[in-house]
Structure 1
Amino acid sequence: MDVPVKALVVAVAGFAAISFPCMVIAFLCSRRSKSRGLFLKPHWPSAAAAAEVLPVTAPSEHVSSSWSLYGSGVDSSLKMLSLDDLAAATGGFSPDNIIGDGSFGFVYRAVLPDNTAVAVKRLSADHAAGLGAGNREFRAELEVLGKLSHPNLARLLGYCAAGSDRLLVYELLERGSLDAWLHGDGPDPLPWPARLRIARGVAAALAFLHHGRDPPVLHRDIKASNVLLDEGFEAKLADFGLARIVSGGPAASDLSTQAAGTAGYMAPELQVGVGASVKADVYSLGVLMIEMVTGRRPSWPVKAAVGGKEVDMLKWAREKVQMGFALEIADRRMAIEREGEEAAEEMEAFLDVARRCTEESPKHRPFMEEVVAMLTNLKL
Structure 2
Amino acid sequence: MEPALQALLAATGSFLFMTIIFAVIYALCKDPKKHTRRHPPPRARTAPAAELSSIESATFDPALTRIEIGELARVTRDFSPDLIIGDGSFGLVYRAKLASGVTVAVKKLAPDAFQGLREFHAEMETLGKIQHPNIVKMLGFCIAGSDRILIYEYVAKGSLDQWLYDMSSMGYDVAGTAKCPKLLDWETRIKIVQGVARGLAYMHTLYTPIIHRDIKASNILLDAEFGAHIADFGLARLMDRSHSHVSTQVAGTMGYMPPEYIYGCMMATTPGDVYSFGVLMLEIATGRRPNFPFAGGDGYEIRLVEWVTNMVSQKRYMEMIDPNLSRENLPENDVINYFAIATMCVSEDPKVRPTMSDVVGMLE
Q: When the two structures are superposed, what TM-score results if normalisation uses the length of structure 1?
A: 0.72
Match of 1:235 in 2: 228
- C-alpha contact (below 8 Å) 1:89/1:111 kept by paired residues: yes
Larger Rg: 2
Match of 1:290 in 2: 282
State the alpha-carbon separation in 1 of the partners of residues 334 and 272 from structure 2: 25
Regions of 4+ moved over 6 Å: none
State the alpha-carbon separation in 2 of the partners of residues 141 and 327 from structure 1: 43
Does residue 317 in structure 1 map to residue 308 in structure 2?
Answer: yes
- C-alpha contact (below 8 Å) 2:157/2:223 kept by paired residues: yes
Does residue 91 in structure 1 map to residue 88 in structure 2?
Answer: no
Does residue 131 in structure 1 map to residue 115 in structure 2?
Answer: yes
Which amino acid in the other structure matches residue 192 of structure 2? I
Match of 1:362 in 2: 350
CA change 1:358–1:232 in 2 (3 A) is: same
Q: How does 1:56-135 map to 2 (within 5 A)?
A: 76-77=62-63, 80-124=66-110, 126-127=111-112, 131=115
Shift of 1:225: 0.5
CA change 1:311–1:143 in 2 (3 A) is: same
State the alpha-carbon separation in 2 of the partners of residues 237 and 247 from structure 1: 22
Match of 2:186 in 1: 192
State the alpha-carbon separation in 2 of the partners of residues 100 and 206 from structure 1: 22
- C-alpha contact (below 8 Å) 1:78/1:158 kept by paired residues: no
Q: Which has the higher contact order (CA 8 A, sep 6+)?
A: 1
State the alpha-carbon separation in 1 of the partners of residues 319 and 131 from structure 2: 39
- C-alpha contact (below 8 Å) 2:105/2:153 kept by paired residues: yes
Aligned residues: 293
What SS does the aligned partner of 1:332 have?
coil
Does residue 150 in structure 1 map to residue 132 in structure 2?
Answer: yes
Q: When the two structures are superposed, what TM-score results if normalisation uses the length of structure 2?
A: 0.75
Which amino acid in the other structure matches residue 131 of structure 1? Q
What SS does the aligned partner of 1:220 have?
coil
Structure 1's unaligned 5+ residue stretches are 1-72
Match of 1:53 in 2: none
State the alpha-carbon separation in 2 of the partners of residues 281 and 219 from structure 1: 7
Q: How does 1:1-380 map to 2 (within 5 A)?
A: 76-77=62-63, 80-124=66-110, 126-127=111-112, 131=115, 139=121, 142-186=124-168, 187=172, 188=178, 190-211=184-205, 213-249=206-242, 252-256=243-247, 258-274=249-265, 275-305=267-297, 308-335=299-326, 337-340=327-330, 342=331, 344-376=332-364
Shift of 1:322: 2.7
Structure 2's unaligned 5+ residue stretches are 1-58, 173-177
Q: State the Cα RMSD in Å.
A: 2.2
Q: Percent identity?
A: 46
Cα shift readout 1:80-133 (whole Å, capped 9, x = no counterpart) = 421110011112322221112122222111010111111111123x435x727x
